[in-house]
Structure 1
Amino acid sequence: MPAKKSKKGPTKGTGGKGKRALEGKKTTLPKEKRHWYGKKQSTAASRPQQGARAAAPRPDTGTGPPGTPGREGGGSELLVGRNPVLEVLRAGVPARRLFLANSLETDPRIAEAARLAGEAGVEIHEISKAQLDRRCEGSGQPGAAHQGIALKVPPYDYWDSDRLLETAQAADTPPLVVALDSVTDPHNLGAVARSAAAFGAHGLLIPERRSAGVTMGAWKTSAGALARMPIAQATNLTRALESYKRAGLFIAGLAADGESTVRDLDLASGPLVIVIGSEGKGLSRLVRQTCDTVAGIPISGTESLNASVAAGITLYEVAQHRASASR
């Protein structure tokens, strides 16, 4: 008997719908740079011990990376983005795990981050982009632009105000500290840290309460500057500023109704603290009374400037004063 013919007829094409599946994934790091491959994967029982070794506290000698994510243990933060992660690893900050998406375009920052993490004994995990997305969401960062890389770090290790003062006084240039009076936006904190690092400040001083702290948002905005810029917390900002005055630092507050302008800060070439007020209320009454002078920034077309913008402008003027004084 002749074989029965199939009722389905000839197989049809997909019309190009399967084209994307045939294109393949993006490239990842070259084999020679994926140094963590070939090593025996840690078991579930051994992972906590390896993680503890990777984040082991260092003795605080005062010579290590300033104000780094923590040497105090407890909890952790997920730092995301290529520049922030790379800057933290370059600074030798203790870290617990590096997560890499396994489909990444070639980027020297990724390769260097992987190398530095490997040299520091940090666990490296390659996961899918979807898994990395879920990790960011699970850490309270929905929609975070991780750029295919994330680093698990201990909590930030704040300095105290006395240590910041001593470090600034021991520097090769006159002390320059930026104090934030109840600035509550972590993006402003990160942006101020970036400007402070760019113009040679020795650190930031913030109150313990009613102030933004070093969060993932601050790290991202700082573009890694927080790895080099120490941040000190003061139980009472007014008392800390008074102690800085007794140590010979000139305290200059910023306010729209200042009695002078930032261009007139003739003492900017000497030991100086710049105090920036909160986004809405500006300088508090007690902090303003503690300042030796209150300066403003001449502007037109708007009533006020963002705290981080005001900090950048003022720090630039201070840098100009200091450059002129050194000639």
Structure 2
Amino acid sequence: MSNPWLKNKGDAERSRKPAERSIGAAEGAERGESPARPSRDEVRWYGFNAVLATFAQRPEAIRKVYVSGSRLRDAADLLKWCADNRIGYRVVDDADLERLTKAQHHEGLVADVLPLPVLDLQEWLDKAPATRDCAIWLDGVGNPHNLGAILRSTAHFGASALLLPASRAAQGISGAAARVAEGGAEHVRIVALRERPIDNLTILRRHGYRALATVVEGGTNLFRAELPDKTVWMLGAEGEGMDRSLAELADTRISIPGTGHVESLNVANAAAVLLAASFAATE
């Protein structure tokens, strides 16, 4: 059997038909492992911008690449790098990519990569900007599409970190979240919070940050509030919202005003509004 892992673009073009055989039949038989899962220390990234952002920021993290024939030209630089660095890639069809990702929105490019590094709170603060800065603290947000949209907004506005409970940070950023982030995941530091919220707040305050909890009602109007130079926005889970006891520990509680026709904004939309307000306040 010919090796299913192609090493250069010429091989990809010449071997299109063999390479596009079912991954289950070709790769699994060659490697003796399930093709539907990356190895234990890898995550399966998908989405064109997500994979290319990893290539741009952390090429050493790439372990395997799967690409559709229609994306060969678009991914030429990545595939050349794979060939030069003995990183295997395969040309496969869309059905195989859907099996690999369990999603239809793979955009023709998939990669098994090492997870994003996770920083301890103090480790991040030691590297954080000395003057103005903004970060997002998520309390219970689990939907990967919301998480991805928040990462995209965080990268767009230049906020320096996404703060997550340690258990959630340990799970890492999923391929679905990375795709929705459109490359933004590679530009945001992922930070693991300590177990006790008060410990996190104490450390943040010691470094000049102020925690602003977002609440549906009863908070200061966002557009009338004087925002601190170093802000940590605290946002709650999609359904339950911000935990009341956590919100009460914050330095300030903020509400985003609206018509009242709906109860509140989606958490990802709220994050974008808050980040926009923070960075508008610094200009």
Q: TM-score, normalised by structure 1?
A: 0.69
Alignment match, 2:44: 78
- 1:313 equivalenced with 2:273 (yes/no): yes
1:1-327, aligned counterparts within 5 Å? 34=9, 74-93=40-59, 94-101=61-68, 103-104=69-70, 108=74, 110-134=75-99, 136=100, 141-170=101-130, 174-209=132-167, 213-236=172-195, 238=197, 239-268=199-228, 270-300=229-259, 301-323=261-283
Determine if contact 1:253/1:294 at 8 Å carries over to the other structure.
yes
Q: Which has the higher helix share?
A: 2
Give me the CA root mean square deviation: 2.6
Q: CA deviation at 1:207?
A: 0.6
Seen in structure 2, the aligned counterparts of structure 1 residues 117 and 37 have a Cα distance that, compared at 3 Å, is same
Seen in structure 2, the aligned counterparts of structure 1 residues 125 and 210 have a Cα distance that, compared at 3 Å, is closer
Query: 2:56 corresponds to which letter in structure 1?
Result: R
Seen in structure 2, the aligned counterparts of structure 1 residues 118 and 291 have a Cα distance that, compared at 3 Å, is farther
Aligned-pair identity (%): 25
Seen in structure 2, the aligned counterparts of structure 1 residues 257 and 237 have a Cα distance that, compared at 3 Å, is farther
Seen in structure 2, the aligned counterparts of structure 1 residues 105 and 292 have a Cα distance that, compared at 3 Å, is closer
Mapped to 2, the partners of 1:150 and 1:106 lie a distance apart of 12
Q: CA deviation at 1:121?
A: 4.3
Seen in structure 2, the aligned counterparts of structure 1 residues 155 and 240 have a Cα distance that, compared at 3 Å, is same
Q: Which has the higher strand share?
A: 2
Determine if contact 1:181/1:237 at 8 Å carries over to the other structure.
no
| Alignment size in residue pairs | 250
Mapped to 2, the partners of 1:258 and 1:209 lie a distance apart of 30
Structure 2: segments with no counterpart, 5+ residues: 1-7, 14-26, 32-38
Q: CA deviation at 1:119?
A: 5.0
Q: CA deviation at 1:115?
A: 3.5
Query: Secondary structure at 2:62's aligned position in 1?
Result: coil
Larger RCO of the pair (alpha carbons < 8 Å, separation 6+): 2
Query: 2:161 corresponds to which letter in structure 1?
Result: G
Q: Could you give the per-residue CA deviations for residues 281-315 of structure 1, whole angstroms, max 9, x where no partner exists?
A: 22213321221100110111211111110000011
Q: TM-score, normalised by structure 2?
A: 0.79
Larger radius of gyration: 1
Determine if contact 1:250/1:267 at 8 Å carries over to the other structure.
no
Query: 1:84 corresponds to which letter in structure 2?
Result: A
Q: CA deviation at 1:243?
A: 1.1
Query: 1:133 corresponds to which letter in structure 2?
Result: E
